[in-house]
Structure 1
Amino acid sequence: MLQTSFSYDALPMRVRFGSGAVASLPDEIARLGAGRALVLCSPEQRGTGETIADALGGRSAGVLAEARMHVPIEVARHARARAAELGADCCVAVGGGSAIGLGKAIALEHDLPVVAVPTTYAGSEMTAVWGLTEDGRKRTGKDPRVLPASVLYDPELTLGLPIGMSVTSGFNAVAHAVEALYAPDRSPITSLMAEEGVRAMTEALPAVAADGGDLDARAKALYASWLCGACLGATTVSLHHKLCHALGGTLDLPHAATHTVVLPYALTYNQPAAPEAAGALSRALASPDPARRLWDLAGSLGAPRSLRELGMAESDIEPIAKQVVDAPYANPAPVTHDGLARLLRAAWSGEPPSAQD
């Protein structure tokens, strides 16, 4: 049934997509009227960050290779201070959600424009959502100041992404699209993007896993991540993301892997209450049970399928359930402590997802 009443805000950003797109980075910085770009990346991406800084020449203010998962507040504070010391007037965030999240943390404080150069499929570059972790709790919010001004999607930069990380990063992207399909502020536009994003990503990931050097498969996955990230930027997240924020912020579980594990169980929880979303996912995945199909696909690609594998203790189930139910996000199915405890226990043990009682 066509949704006939909705609102949709197009986010004001510029996108360049294609092999070699990163070569246009100096032009993008000049277009912003900026002249001193601080390059942000994780320690593991330092080499890529330094290569990009070298290519910027006199437009580079330096490299800060300190991005970490979930953007710890102390890392954000140091990056903000360093940007001010160096006189940076923009940031270039190279990498995944950690680097882009750090760029957003600087933008939130100093209003510096961010140019994002994604090398994973996280999708953060498509949103005005920021996140900071302090005292074991991850806070998130939306602010137009943190939305990247330009995004450069270059599939060649994803060729070095390890297969395991590629798979979990892809599932992270799929989670954005899944929740967009039953978000309270969804629209026909976001639903189209979400269905296509899920289809494209789940078709691309087996090809990427078979040959990480397959540039066409990498480009398809990056295209899918763009769509899924755009869904995240245009809608409100629900139970899946709330659970992952709690697990990541409190237990410091790996971000993309946590999304990969939780997704089939959160979808199983919500499928009966979101029949239109389930129908779209059935089409995208060519399966009558989208949650089980995603669980099977993760296993076939060697991805983790239990929170226990990621380091969560069984004793963490009750505290996480309480944290989520005490401050729930909008969700199609009622969020109850007993229901969350069952969901988390199943996800912790890695048993096949099945409908909640």
Structure 2
Amino acid sequence: MVFGPAGLATAVTDLDTPPFAFDYDPGAIRYGRGSVAELGDALADRGRDTALVVCGSNVAGNAELMDAVGDGLGDRLAEVFAGTTPDKRLREADRAVERADELGADAFVPVGGGSSLDVATIASVLRARDRSLSDARSEVRETGGIATPEEPDALTPLFPVPTTLAGADLSVVAGIAAEVDDGAGGTEVVSTGVGGADLMPEALFYDPALFETTPEGVLAGSAMNGFDKAIEALYARDRTAITDATATRAVRLLVDGLPAMTEDATAMDRTVAGIVLAQYGVSRPGSMLINVVHAYGHGLRDAFGVQQGLAHATVAPHALRAMDEAGVDLSTLTAAFDVDTAEAAIGGIERVRDALGLPATLSAVDGVDEGGLDEAARVTAADALLSYAPEGYELTEADARAVLEAAF
């Protein structure tokens, strides 16, 4: 123990600060009610004249939201491209490129959730490289991914307006699903993506009033995904004193705000601010802070098609208990919750989940059956995000299966 101000005893691990490097260059962040009104000014400041709004059909049908975005853009709004879907197919990005070329758009404004931002990001890359849909599919088949352009200035800049709580906006990566030749005369859909520092959005607009236009079920379903970004940042291998600070503040804002966000404007303000902080520094060139819990989310997605927020709601407490039992240092997490034990912090996570009305067990999630847990465990144990897990923690397929069974 060491003794701080007023003789208070503090665990060394709470304040211990190992050396770190923090290479992070996020887009300009604009937070607050009415901030969407600054969209047009942000484009003008960067010499952009014509914006293509990129979103899904449900978002496009949200008149209150789209009117605010349109008013913010003013005469810089070229058109609303309402062609994205939760499936995030490569062809959606290709169609966005075609429409941007036809309109002469020099900016993308993705509105809504992470799917639209991913599609817009991929569209920016394809456009910069002048890649057709056929070319892009061939590249994915041959290399497994999509390369960034050699000339970053050719990218069409992104100005996202998020309205869900997944916290996937301050990111230098984007995922997409591509239909490719399976080598046997047919096609298969493969998950792929692109990553690079130049893909960070130019400016982002977090307007709590716009989050209030999103259906309550959509907000709740995305909330645990965003919340868990703050949770995982506090024990990730590449955590830093900077991300400890932002993640700790995020946890406290979200614990306070999430349960009442749809009933109280102040709670929504705190929730949106918490989501901004939860993802700050999480996605950096060559480093990620999301790790074990998100790997489980990917395993459940691939095995059952489970939405990530629901996956996190059910599995996160059990994954954290397993890490605690394995000796992972969760002291920074417990400090964020202002409690003495990891179990007490996990209890805090469960209370937030329950307040959001999310399922507590995998058996309560539609489409999940015990027979598919082996596949979910296999995918989880092989997930690339485990390379960012706490130092010394190794997740075997058997370990993952035990956690999933406990969550079931």
Which TM-score applies when normalising by structure 1? 0.88
CA distance in 2, matches of 1:82, 1:313: 42
Shift of 1:191: 0.9
Amino acid at match of 1:17: Y
The 3-state SS of whatever aligns with 2:249 is helix
Q: Which moved more, 1:253-262 or 1:14-23?
A: 253-262
Shift of 1:185: 1.5
* C-alpha spacing 1:270/1:24, structure 2 compared with 1 (3 Å): same
Q: In the TM superposition, what whole-angstrom CA distance separates every residue of 1:140-163 from its partner, at most 9, and x where no partner exists?
A: 553123211001111111112333
Residue 281 (1) aligns with residue 333 (2): yes
Shift of 1:174: 1.5
CA distance in 2, matches of 1:315, 1:197: 37
2:163 pairs with 119, 137, 149, which one?
119
1:293 pairs with 337, 344, 348, which one?
348
Q: In the TM superposition, what whole-angstrom CA distance separates every residue of 1:272-320 from its partner, at most 9, and x where no partner exists?
A: 45654x2222233344212233124312431122333142222221112
CA distance in 1, matches of 2:87, 2:320: 23
Asked if the contact 2:94–2:126 (Cα under 8 Å) also holds between the matched residues in 1, the reply is no
> What is the match of residue 311 of structure 1?
367
CA distance in 2, matches of 1:258, 1:67: 23
Equivalent runs, 1:57-96 vs 2, <5 Å: 57-69=74-86, 71-96=88-113
Q: In the TM superposition, what whole-angstrom CA distance separates every residue of 1:226-263 from its partner, at most 9, and x where no partner exists?
A: 00111422434312212222333453322322232232
Q: In the TM superposition, what whole-angstrom CA distance separates every residue of 1:190-248 from its partner, at most 9, and x where no partner exists?
A: 0111111111101111222xxx2422111100000000111422434312212222333
CA distance in 2, matches of 1:145, 1:242: 25
Q: Which moved more, 1:159-168 or 1:218-227?
A: 159-168
CA distance in 2, matches of 1:198, 1:140: 29
Q: In the TM superposition, what whole-angstrom CA distance separates every residue of 1:26-57 from its partner, at most 9, and x where no partner exists?
A: 11111221111110122111134642236534
CA RMSD of aligned residues (A): 2.3
Asked if the contact 2:298–2:379 (Cα under 8 Å) also holds between the matched residues in 1, the reply is no
> What is the match of residue 398 of structure 2?
338
> What is the match of residue 324 of structure 1?
380
> What is the match of residue 225 of structure 1?
275
> What is the match of residue 37 of structure 1?
51
Amino acid at match of 2:280: A
The 3-state SS of whatever aligns with 2:229 is helix
CA distance in 2, matches of 1:312, 1:136: 21
CA distance in 2, matches of 1:251, 1:95: 24
2:117 pairs with 100, 110, 114, which one?
100
- The alignment of Structure 1 onto Structure 2 pairs a total of residues equal to 344
Instruction: Identify unmatched segments of 5+ residues in structure 2.
Output: 1-12, 128-154, 179-187
CA distance in 2, matches of 1:133, 1:243: 19
Identity between Structure 1 and Structure 2 (%): 29
Q: In the TM superposition, what whole-angstrom CA distance separates every residue of 1:63-100 from its partner, at most 9, and x where no partner exists?
A: 11232225233323333333333322111111121222
Which TM-score applies when normalising by structure 2? 0.78
Asked if the contact 2:232–2:290 (Cα under 8 Å) also holds between the matched residues in 1, the reply is yes
> What is the match of residue 27 of structure 2?
13
> What is the match of residue 183 of structure 1?
236
Amino acid at match of 1:337: E
> What is the match of residue 352 of structure 1?
none
Asked if the contact 2:298–2:380 (Cα under 8 Å) also holds between the matched residues in 1, the reply is no
> What is the match of residue 357 of structure 2?
302
The 3-state SS of whatever aligns with 1:126 is coil
> What is the match of residue 26 of structure 1?
40
Asked if the contact 2:302–2:379 (Cα under 8 Å) also holds between the matched residues in 1, the reply is no
Instruction: Identify unmatched segments of 5+ residues in structure 1.
Output: 350-357
> What is the match of residue 133 of structure 1?
177
Q: Which moved more, 1:74-83 or 1:173-182?
A: 74-83
Q: Which moved more, 1:78-87 or 1:335-344?
A: 78-87
Asked if the contact 1:267–1:291 (Cα under 8 Å) also holds between the matched residues in 2, the reply is yes
* C-alpha spacing 1:201/1:100, structure 2 compared with 1 (3 Å): same
In terms of fraction of residues, the more helix-rich structure is 1
Shift of 1:189: 0.4
